[in-house]
């Protein structure tokens, strides 16, 4: 029987002490703690223990998006200092940006991009995006996509760390990227992937665990708390995804040999299941936007196990993980994690949901 509380946003709340929010990552990456979810309980380990948890023939699906240094410092015409966070292209070198102070940036205003040891660069506000409250900023017209914009961001920008991380360091330029980050476009890291070191990936490959790539460029909407109490008709922001023919072949080969499809992070889950849902539950090559809602009651078509982080309360990510193991069980596991000193959020520890712990489909 469905639990009506599963469709109420207030049922996905929990209290987290400020001291449980990780401020710096653990080194090496695979030394982070890992709460291992089992059919009838849980145990405490570290990420390196995936080497024992995964089996030869399994397929590990990781998100190869690369985080842009999307936070930019600007000087307004008045001389005041502000900030832009570059979100997405709108064509012809025009980019949607969150701005601070937004109310003081009006259409037609000129802004000067500033950074140490770089010449000033003039940009222009060309509009307001009512849906996001952001500003449309005109960059040089040839900077029309993430690949062409990234060299400028490397010179002028900084990593867009979440606001609950209070201090930024030079090491964040590398540490807030996964080891397999290849395709620029994200403004937030696919955080579960931050736990996978080259040493662990190589050890898993030697064991016979396959690896495949999906691309989902993580945006700010992923982490925003939901606002509607009734989740029965929930709609989420769209996200750009690419599932290649090579990934489809890897998943099919895994299924045929009796292996298990393991997603690294909720972004990989949303990519695989979102694209499969567009094709009647069958994964097919796809490039475009998906906006699938995954919450309790959802039937997974591709993913069988998950490596994930500990997520913000009242977030769509909490709903997604609840769909795998149940809301009440997930919240009880979060209580265990808090009581036992696990570190939460982007630079925090991990949770491993083994396929045998997943609710029956």
Please check whether residues 212 and 179 belong to one and the same domain: yes
Q: Looking at the predicted structure, is the pLDDT value of residue 265 above 60?
A: yes
Q: Is 297 inside any structural domain?
A: yes
Domain housing 92: 71-156
Please check whether residues 253 and 302 belong to one and the same domain: yes
Q: Looking at the predicted structure, is the pLDDT value of residue 81 above 90?
A: yes
Question: Band of the pLDDT at 361, cuts 50, 70, 90?
Answer: very low
Mean pLDDT of 337-352: 98
Q: Which of 281, 219, 268 is nearest to 70 (CA)?
A: 219
Per-residue model confidence (pLDDT) at position 223: 59
Mean pLDDT of 93-122: 96
Please give the Cα distance from 311 to 337 (Å, whole number): 12
Q: Given the structure tokens 């939460």, which residue do they identify? A: 344
Q: Is 164 inside any structural domain?
A: no
Per-residue model confidence (pLDDT) at position 360: 60
Q: Tell me phi and psi for residue 83, to 5 degrees.
A: -145, 145
- Show the CA angle centred on residue 202, arms to residues 197 and 206, nearest 5°: 150
Per-residue model confidence (pLDDT) at position 39: 92
Please check whether residues 36 and 183 belong to one and the same domain: yes
Q: Which of 162, 148, 190 is nearest to 64 (CA)?
A: 190
Domain count, the chain: 2
The model's pLDDT over 267-286, given as tens digits with 9 standing for 90+, comes to 999 999 999 999 999 999 99
Please check whether residues 131 and 263 belong to one and the same domain: no
Mean pLDDT of 251-279: 98
Strand ranges (E), the chain: 33-38, 41-46, 59-63, 65-67, 71-76, 81-91, 94-100, 110-114, 121-129, 134-138, 183-186, 210-216, 239-243, 261-264, 286-290, 305-309, 350-353
Domain boundary among 122, 156, 190: 156
CATH code, domain carrying 342: 3.40.1780.10
Beta bridge pairs of residue 62: 213
Please check whether residues 50 and 183 belong to one and the same domain: yes
CATH code, domain carrying 88: 2.40.10.240
Per-residue model confidence (pLDDT) at position 227: 87
Please check whether residues 207 and 107 belong to one and the same domain: no
The model's pLDDT over 197-235, given as tens digits with 9 standing for 90+, comes to 999 999 999 999 999 999 999 987 765 678 899 999 898
Q: Is 165 inside any structural domain?
A: no
Please check whether residues 85 and 48 belong to one and the same domain: no
Q: Are 242 and 287 in contact (CB under 8 A)?
A: yes
Please check whether residues 134 and 209 belong to one and the same domain: no
Please check whether residues 209 and 92 belong to one and the same domain: no
The model's pLDDT over 145-182, given as tens digits with 9 standing for 90+, comes to 999 999 999 999 999 999 999 999 999 999 999 999 99
Per-residue model confidence (pLDDT) at position 159: 97
Mean pLDDT of 296-310: 97
Q: Are 336 and 328 in contact (CB under 8 A)?
A: no
Please check whether residues 86 and 58 belong to one and the same domain: no
Please check whether residues 41 and 83 belong to one and the same domain: no
Q: Is 103 inside any structural domain?
A: yes
* Average pLDDT along the chain: 95
Domain boundary among 96, 124, 156: 156
Q: Is 333 inside any structural domain?
A: yes
Per-residue model confidence (pLDDT) at position 1: 63
The model's pLDDT over 52-75, given as tens digits with 9 standing for 90+, comes to 999 999 999 999 999 999 999 999
Please give the Cα distance from 67 to 173 (Å, whole number): 9
Q: Is 169 inside any structural domain?
A: no
Please check whether residues 83 and 232 belong to one and the same domain: no
């Amino acid at each position: 029987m469905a639990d009506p509380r599963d469709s109420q946003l207030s049922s996905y709340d929990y209290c987290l002490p400020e001291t449980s929010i990780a401020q710096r990552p653990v080194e090496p990456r695979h030394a982070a703690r890992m709460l291992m979810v089992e059919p009838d309980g849980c145990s405490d380990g570290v990420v390196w223990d995936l080497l024992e948890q995964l089996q030869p023939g399994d397929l590990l699906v990781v998100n190869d998006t690369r985080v842009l240094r999307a936070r930019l410092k600007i000087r307004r015409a008045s001389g005041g200092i502000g900030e832009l966070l570059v979100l997405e292209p709108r064509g012809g070198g025009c980019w949607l940006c969150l701005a601070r102070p937004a109310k003081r940036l009006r259409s037609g205003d000129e802004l000067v991009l500033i950074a140490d040891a770089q010449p000033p660069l003039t940009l222009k506000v060309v509009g307001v995006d009512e849906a996001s409250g952001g500003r449309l900023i005109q960059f040089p017209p040839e900077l029309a996509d993430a690949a062409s914009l990234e060299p400028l961001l490397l010179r002028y920008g900084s990593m867009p760390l979440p606001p609950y991380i209070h201090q930024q360091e030079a090491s964040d330029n590398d540490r807030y990227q996964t080891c397999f980050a290849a395709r620029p476009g994200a403004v937030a890291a696919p955080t579960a992937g931050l736990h996978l070191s080259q040493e662990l990936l190589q050890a898993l490959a030697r064991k016979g665990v396959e690896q495949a790539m999906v691309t989902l460029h993580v945006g700010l909407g992923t982490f925003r708390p939901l606002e509607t109490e009734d989740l029965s008709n929930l709609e989420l922001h769209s996200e750009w995804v690419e599932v290649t023919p090579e990934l489809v072949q890897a998943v099919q080969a895994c299924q045929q040999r009796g292996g298990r499809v393991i997603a690294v992070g909720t972004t990989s889950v949303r990519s695989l299941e979102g694209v499969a849902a567009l094709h009647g539950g069958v994964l097919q090559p796809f490039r475009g936007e998906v906006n699938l809602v995954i919450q309790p009651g959802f039937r997974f078509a591709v993913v069988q196990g998950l490596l994930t982080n500990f997520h913000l309360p009242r977030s769509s990510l909490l709903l997604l993980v609840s769909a795998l193991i149940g809301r009440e069980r997930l919240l009880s596991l979060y209580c265990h994690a808090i009581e036992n000193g696990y570190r939460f959020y982007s630079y925090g520890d991990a949770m491993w949901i083994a396929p045998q712990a997943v609710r029956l489909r």
